[in-house]
Amino acid sequence: ILNVEQSPQSLHVQEGDSTNFTCSFPSSNFYALHWYRWETAKSPEALFVMTLNGDEKKKGRISATLNTKEGYSYLYIKGSQPEDSATYLCAFRQAGTALIFGKGTTLSVSS
Amino acid sequence: DTAVSQTPKYLVTQMGNDKSIKCEQNLGHDTMYWYKQDSKKFLKIMFSYNNKELIINETVPNRFSPKSPDKAHLNLHINSLELGDSAVYFCASSHPNRGRRGDQYFGPGTRLLVL
C-alpha cells in the first residue's frame, strides 16, 4: 500500500511569518509529485507539478522543492498572508497509476 | 465559464435509493476521474476514464458505476445507497498528452448525505 504523509497536519501562523510543510512519499518508481491548494468550500487547485529530482518551483511567495531519492518534498510560503489560509495537498504518482493524495496540511494565517 | 462542473451540488436522499451525479468538463481533456472525500477529509480515487474507457477502478462497491457517454462527461451512478456513502464526491479531468506534468482540474464537489 502506497502512503503519502504530510506534516504537520495543521499549522497556525501570524501574518508575515514564513512557514514550510513536508510531504513524504515512496522513493521507488517515482513519476510525479503534485501540490494542490484547497480553500474551504472550493475545489483543489493545482500549484506545482515536479518530476525531476532537485526540481524547484516558485509561484509568487510560494515555492516547492523535490527530493525523489529520499522521498520528500517541501512547500514554503514566505511572508504568509491571511489569503494563504487553505489546506495544501500533496499528491504522488508512480508510472501508470493514479494520484495518491496525502491528507493535507491546513494552514491558518491570522492578521 | 466553469471548467469542470458537477450537478447536483448537494444531494440528500434516503437509504436504499438510487442516485446519479453528473460531471462535465469543457477543457477538451481526455481523462476524467471520480474521487471520494471521506470523513477524515482524505481524497481517494474511485475511477478514472480515458476517452470513454475505464482505466482505473479502485476497490469500490459494485453499487457504484461510472458512465461516460462521451469524453466530456463522466457520470457516477450509485445503487442502493447506504449510510456510509455519505461523503463529498469530486470529479476531475486532466490532459494525458501532458504526461506526468498533467494537472488535474477539479469540480466543485457534490455533497451527498444519506439518511
Q: What is the mean pLDDT of residues B22-35?
A: 92
A46 → closest Cβ in B41, B56, B103: B103
**Contact state of A49 with B106 under an 8 Å Cβ cutoff:** no
Indicate the pLDDT class of residue A79, thresholds 50, 70 and 90: very high
Measured CA to CA, the distance from residue B47 to residue B76 in angstroms comes to 9
Q: What is the mean pLDDT of residues A73-94?
A: 95
**Contact state of A49 with B101 under an 8 Å Cβ cutoff:** yes
Measured CA to CA, the distance from residue A91 to residue A99 in angstroms comes to 6
The region that residue B101 occupies, defined by phi over 0 for left and psi between -120 and 50 for alpha, beta otherwise, is alpha
Cell 464537489 belongs to residue: B109
Encode A12-35: b = buried (16+ Cβ within 10 Å), e = exposed. ebeeeeebebebbbeeeebebbbb
For residue range A32-59, what is the model confidence (pLDDT) as tens digits? 999 999 998 888 999 999 999 999 999 9
Measured CA to CA, the distance from residue A23 to residue A105 in angstroms comes to 9
User: What pLDDT does A83 receive?
Assistant: 95
B107 → closest Cβ in A43, A49, A51: A43
Query: CB contacts < 8 Å between A and B, how many?
Result: 45
For residue range B43-63, what is the model confidence (pLDDT) as tens digits? 888 988 887 778 777 778 899
User: What pLDDT does B52 receive?
Assistant: 74
Q: Considering chain A, what is the average pLDDT of its residues?
A: 93
Q: Is the pLDDT of residue B104 over 70?
A: yes
B41 → closest Cβ in A49, A98, A104: A104
